[in-house]
Structure 1
Amino acid sequence: MGAVLVINADLGPLHRVPVQHAIRMLCRQVAEIHEADPDRLIGVFPMPRVVRLVRYVVTRWRYTRGPAWSKSGVLRRDGHRCGYCPATATTVDHVLPRSRGGTNSWLNTVAACYGCNQRKGDRTPAEAGLRLRMTPRVPTWDALGVR
């Protein structure tokens, strides 16, 4: 079906949600239709393109803290490219393995292809004979594509 843009009460963009979520927001009356496709209906509602929140939501948190760590965030940060070779990354690797005290953090994880992740195993990159192609860093909201 597609995604629906959610805008704040002051008309500032917040994020996109699936159409089903937007309809639930309309039913709960936390949002109103701001822009819609009048020729297509979902029940009694026209197909929303943009919904506006009824009450203003403070988004200061987005600018005071960086994004929380997640596997999908690591893959997005690294452009789905392996941190050890030029292959496409499908998983996340801990530079210092968790069994040795490594954590789920931006600075300890890199995107990795299946082959490099298996080759490295429960070792550090130096012990496995691998070299990191880039230094792990904490991404910004914009680097993750969140606006």
Structure 2
Amino acid sequence: MGRKVLVLNQDYSALSICSVPKAFLLVYLDKAELVAESEQFTLRTVSAEFPMPSVIRLHRYVNLPYKGVMLTRQNIFKRDGHRCQYCGTTEDLTLDHVLPKSRGGKTSWDNLATACKRCNSRKGDDTPDEANMKLRQKPFKPTFLVFLREFSDSIEESWMPFLAKKEKAYV
């Protein structure tokens, strides 16, 4: 059961994604309500059948001061579409510091790009301009909603009304 469930805060804003068992437990314990259910699947026990949650809403408001997307290797790859940002290949991917660390470049969303080993080696300790290599897109830090909407592996159709906020992906 690798399906995921969108968790909404009490005010219907997207909060996180969790597993189906976790979502079912929150609903069963009356800590959340079922907003949307899967049309294709149900949860079955020996003696009962329950709708499989697709979207749930928490009964209590959870105050999160900052909902950011964690900077990880896999999240950078997702943001960049699992493609080298110099040549476009999907083979032998690694991370490249656009401004090299040796020249003061930070490990941040705005300075990391997906690159294949060949392009990363060719660029070396230069900036893309110095190496005469053009980035396909400027690195950026995605917001939580943009990351869910644009870069998640599987988005249910029932999630879209809650992720359809007007936000710019490229700031």
TM tier relative to shorter chain: 0.5 to 0.7
TM-score (norm 1): 0.66
Q: Which moved more, 1:40-49 or 1:66-75?
A: 40-49
Partner of 2:154: none
Residue 15 (1) aligns with residue 19 (2): no
Residues 14, 145 of structure 2: 8 Å contact kept: no
Residues 119, 128 of structure 1: 8 Å contact kept: no
Choose the corresponding residue for 2:119, options 112, 116, 120. 116
TM-score (norm 2): 0.59
Distance in 1, matches of 2:23 and 2:5, equals: 7
Q: List alignment gaps of at least 5 residues for structure 2.
A: 150-162, 164-171
Q: How many residues align?
A: 142
Letter in 1 for 2:82: H
Q: Which moved more, 1:125-134 or 1:75-84?
A: 125-134
Residues 123, 133 of structure 2: 8 Å contact kept: no
Deviations 1:113-137 (A, max 9, x none): 232224444x124598351323333
State the identity %.
34
Deviations 1:52-74 (A, max 9, x none): 31311235634xxx645332332
Q: List alignment gaps of at least 5 residues for structure 1.
A: none
Choose the corresponding residue for 1:98, options 101, 105, 108. 101
Distance in 2, matches of 1:36 and 1:79, equals: 29
Distance in 1, matches of 2:30 and 2:132, equals: 51
SS in 2 for 1:6: strand
